[in-house]
Amino acid sequence: MRLKIALISLYVFENNGTRLIASVLRNAGYEVHEIYFKDYLHHHFEEPTDLEISRMMGVLREQGIGLVGMSIRAGAYLRVGRQFTRMIQQELGLPVIWGGAHISFDREVCIHDCDYLAVGEAEDTIVELCRRLEAGEDTTDIPGLWVNKGGTIHRNPIGELVDNLDRVPFRDYHSTDDKWVIDGKRFSKGDPCLNESVYLMLSSRGCAFDCKFCDVNIYRQIYKDKGQYFRVRSVDNVIAELKYAREHFKNLVRVRFDDELFPVKSAWVAEFAEAYKREIGLPFEILSDPRVIKDEDIARLKDAGLDHVLMGIQASEDVNRRLFGRYHTHERLVEVSRILTKHKVRAGYQIILDIPETTQKDSEDLLDLLLAMHRPFDLYSFSLNLWPGTELTNYYLSKGLVTENDVAGVCDKTLTQFRVDQTMDRPAFDRLFIALYHLTSKSFVPKSLIRWMGTQPYLREHPWPAIVLSETANFFKLGMLGLSMLRRGELSWNMFRRFFNLKAPVSI
C-alpha cells in the first residue's frame, strides 16, 4: 500500500510551504491530505480546543495516514506544534516531520521535538524521505534532513538550493477533496482561500541584500557555498501561475507579489510589465527596497497595473548602518518617495521600533525622515522581533542586551506586538514618538503640528494628547481604507477576520 501523507498548517490558511510540498508530493504520485488548523489573527491567539484537536486526530486516523508533516513558519506556534506532535506520535504512533522557516533557524532545539526536520528548501528532501519510507530503506542520510532516531540525532549537510525555480510546481489551489479546514466550529472540506480576492504570488526566492535582523541573513548562513541565493522565476512561468490562479480564484481582483524583494533587473521588469499587462491586467502591488527603485522601472510597472509599493526603510540612517547592515541615506529615501508620488504609486513604508541600543536622537532622526517623505503614504510599524541565529540576535545576546527568553521560539511577542500599537508598556518618550510616527502617514494632519509636538517637553512626559490624536486619525484612515477596499471588492471575510481587532487596531 502506498504511503499517505498529511500536512498540517498551523494557524495560517495561506501557507505557501504547505501548498508547495503538497503539490510536489502529489506530482510524485502520493495521496496527500492538507489540514488547515485555524487561521492567524492580528495580535490575538486562540488556544486549540479539544473539539478541534479531536477532529484533526480523526482525519489522520480515518485517512490512514503514514507520515505527518507540520509546517512551523513562526516560532510563536512552536508550543502548539510540540503539543500536537507528541499526541500524534504517542496516540497514533506516526512519525512527524517539521518544516517551515522557524525550524530552519532553531534546528538544535526543534530536532528534539519531532522525528525529522526538513532544513531549508524541502522539495527534494521530502520526496526522497517518502520514497525511502515506502521502500523500508534507511532514512538517516538524506541531504537537508535532520533525523531524531530514538534520541540519536543525525544532522545531514544541507541539500542543494533549487537552482531553477521554474521546475517547482505551482502551489496547489485546485485539489478540494483532500483539504480540511478546522477552525472553531468550522470543520469543512475544500480550500479555505478560494474566496480570497487577492492572490499572493512569489516570483523569486531570497533577496539581493543581507540585513542583519532578517530571516534571509540566516538562510544565507545555511546556504553559504551553495551558489546564488536570490533566484528569480522566468516571466513565462510567473504569468502561467497567474493564469492558473485566475481560473481558481473566482473573486480575484488584485495580485500581491510577496517576494522578499520583487525582481530587480530592468530587463526582467520590462519583459514582465509587458506580459502582465497583456495577459493578466489586474492591479498589483510589490515589496521592494529603496536601494533598487528606478524611475523607469516604476513607470513601466505602473503602466502594467502597479499601484502600491511596500518598502522597508526600517530606522534612521545611523541605526540602519550601525545595527542593521543597511546602507542607504535619508536623501535616497526622500528621492524614492518622490519617484513613487510622481508616478501616483502609493507607497507603504515599513519601520522597525523597540530597538535596543538606540537613543532619543535616533527616534528624532526617524521622525525627521518621515516628515521629509512625500505624502501620501502608509506607514507599517513593526516591533523588533528577534529570530534565532541572525547576526543581530547574536550581537545582542553576546552583549547581554537580551536573553534567550527574548528570542522567537521562547518569546512569542509576534502574537501580541508584531505591528506596533500602544497596548504594550513603554516609556513615555517612546509612546509619544510612536504616536507621532503614526501621524506622519495621515495626510490631513499638518506636518508642522507633528514637528511641534515632537519638541514639547510636556508631551515627552505626558504623551496622551498625541496618542488620542494619533489613534483618532488612524481610525478615520482605517475607515476610509476599509470602505475603498470594500468598493473595489478587495475585502474578503478571511482578511477582515484576521485584521479587525478593536482592542489592538492596526496602524497604517
The site map against ligand B12 for 199-238 (x = CB under 6 A) is: -x-x-----------xx-----------------------
Q: Which residues, in sequence order, are bridge partners of residue 350?
A: 312, 380
What DSSP assignment string belongs to 58-93? HHHHHTT-SEEEEE--SGGGHHHHHHHHHHIIIII-
Does 20 participate in binding ligand B12 (rule CB under 6 A)?
yes
Cis peptide bond N-terminal to 376, omega within 30: yes
Size, binding site for ligand B12 by CB under 6 A: 41
Does 191 participate in binding ligand B12 (rule CB under 6 A)?
no
Nearer to ligand B12, 388 or 454 (CB): 388
Nearer to ligand B12, 103 or 469 (CB): 103
Nearer to ligand B12, 187 or 229 (CB): 229
| H or E stretch covering 3 | none
Name the nearest CA neighbour of 97 among 77, 119, 70. 70
8 A C-beta contact, residue 316 and residue 362: yes
Residue 296, C-alpha cell as written in the block: 523607469
Q: In what order do the strands lie in the sheet with 145-149?
A: 152-155, 145-149, 116-118, 96-99, 67-71, 4-10, 31-37, 179-183, 186-189
d(CA 343, CA 454): 31
Helix (H, G, I), strand (E, B) or coil at 311: strand
Pick one of 66, 95, 99, 454: the residue that binds ligand B12 (CB under 6 A).
99
Q: Which residues 231-270 are close enough to bind ligand B12 by CB under 6 A?
A: 258, 260
Pick one of 35, 60, 65, 75: the residue that binds ligand B12 (CB under 6 A).
75
The site map against ligand B12 for 106-125 (x = CB under 6 A) is: ------------x--xxx--
Torsion over CA of 313, 318, 321 and 322, rounded to 10 degrees?
-130
Does 101 participate in binding ligand B12 (rule CB under 6 A)?
yes
Pick one of 14, 191, 421, 430: the residue that binds ligand B12 (CB under 6 A).
14
Nearer to ligand B12, 202 or 508 (CB): 202
C-alpha distances (whole Å) from 339 to each of 299, 333, 342, 343 are 9, 10, 5, 6
Residue 224, C-alpha cell as written in the block: 553559504
Pick one of 100, 144, 290, 389: the residue that binds ligand B12 (CB under 6 A).
100
Stretch that binds ligand B12, among 7-15, 297-305, 444-452, 483-491 (CB under 6 A): 7-15
Helix (H, G, I), strand (E, B) or coil at 505: coil
Nearer to ligand B12, 187 or 418 (CB): 418
Pick one of 170, 229, 418, 429: the residue that binds ligand B12 (CB under 6 A).
418
The site map against ligand B12 for 397-416 (x = CB under 6 A) is: -----------x-----x--
Does 7 participate in binding ligand B12 (rule CB under 6 A)?
yes
Does 389 participate in binding ligand B12 (rule CB under 6 A)?
no
C-alpha distances (whole Å) from 161 to each of 125, 230, 390 are 11, 10, 20
Interacting residue ranges for ligand B12, rule: CB under 6 A: 7, 10-12, 14-18, 20-21, 40, 69-71, 73-77, 97, 99-102, 105, 118, 121-123, 126, 200, 202, 214-215, 258, 260, 387, 408, 414, 418
